[in-house]
Structure 1
Amino acid sequence: MAKSSTSSGKKWLLVVLLMVFVSSATAAGVYLLMDTGSQAQAADNTEPEPITAPDPIFVKIDPFTVNISGGDYGNRFLYIGLTLQVDDETTRDLLVNHMPQVRSRMLMLFADQSVEELTSPDGKTRLSDQVMSLFDTPLTEPQPELAISDVLFTDFIVQ
């Protein structure tokens, strides 16, 4: 009987060890799942990185003084300063390198204006569109596509 009692004790010891092992494995699994969940929750709770707008790129064009037709009042003049907002450095460099051509085109455009056109409610908007259309004709061959996004008037006097 001593033999059956020893084999029965070994069985019980094996069952107890197996239960301790299964309990430990279950506890470790639950701990890892809980830890992963808290890390995911912590990642969700972190504030997203703020979106920063790129710095604008401007090309300043020196002011012009141009004679314009004044209708009943004879010749008048326009004093105009403007800046072009561009989207990339390539466009900026191209405009700066070809500034005499840019200024010449603008001078011809401004000299062709009349007082009535420039002082009307949408005259400046129309003039801005005309300035943008000046760049439809290439400044050089071959020319990359120009990325001009806005015409900003910095000075505008009709006298």
Structure 2
Amino acid sequence: MAKVQAGRSKTGLLLVVLIIVVLASTGINVYYLTQDRTAEPTAEAKPTPAPAPELIFVTIDPFTVNLQDGDYDSRLLYTGLSLKVGNAQTRNAIERNMPLIRNRLLLLLSEQNPREVTAVGGKQRLAEKILEQLKRPLDPTQPELIIHDVLFTEFIVQ
């Protein structure tokens, strides 16, 4: 009977030790899972990139202008534009003053030579001239317009 008692006590002792090991490992896991991992950044942690700024485009409806080609020849330019602007304030100012902007563009475009605007780099030079025109204040109280780029969405010379 003593042998049976000794076997039971060894089994009981082994069971108690096993329960203690399981409880200890569970406690350690719970501890690590509940720790705030942002408190100590590791060397591997990489900063999250800042979100890209929102792209804001203002579309200017297409229009047609006469181009002068020689003394009596007349050619047509049909063009549509989009402006890449820096903020909503600039977009709102452009939309509010669209008649003034279209007038400036009409006058500028009608001065162009058809050979120059169709040449290599001619559209880029024209875009730079348009940008200069649009950066001029529309009225004395207007804040500075932030226009990054002029994009031609349509461009036909006939």
For 1:95, give the aligned amino acid. I
Structure 1 counterpart of 2:94: 95
> Pairwise mapping of residues 9-158 of structure 1 onto structure 2 (< 5 A)?
43-71=42-70, 74-158=73-157
Unaligned regions of 5+ residues in structure 1, if any? 1-37
Say which SS state the counterpart of residue 68 (structure 1) adopts: strand
8 Å Cα contact 2:67/2:112 also seen in 1:
yes
Alpha-carbon RMSD across the aligned residues, in angstroms, is 2.2
Structure 2 counterpart of 1:13: none
Say which SS state the counterpart of residue 141 (structure 1) adopts: coil
Whole-angstrom CA distance in 2 between matches of 1:114 and 1:134: 18
Q: CA deviation at 1:125?
A: 1.2
Q: Pick closer, same or farther for the CA change 1:40–1:58 going to 2, 3 Å.
A: same
TM-score by length of 2: 0.70
Q: Pick closer, same or farther for the CA change 1:146–1:71 going to 2, 3 Å.
A: same
Q: CA deviation at 1:73?
A: 8.4
Whole-angstrom CA distance in 1 between matches of 2:38 and 2:75: 72
List structure 1 segments (4+ residues) > 6 angstroms apart after TM superposition. Answer: 38-41
Query: Which stretch shows the higher mean deviation, 54-63 or 39-48?
Result: 39-48
Question: Normalized per residue, which structure has more helix?
Answer: 1
Q: Pick closer, same or farther for the CA change 1:73–1:51 going to 2, 3 Å.
A: farther
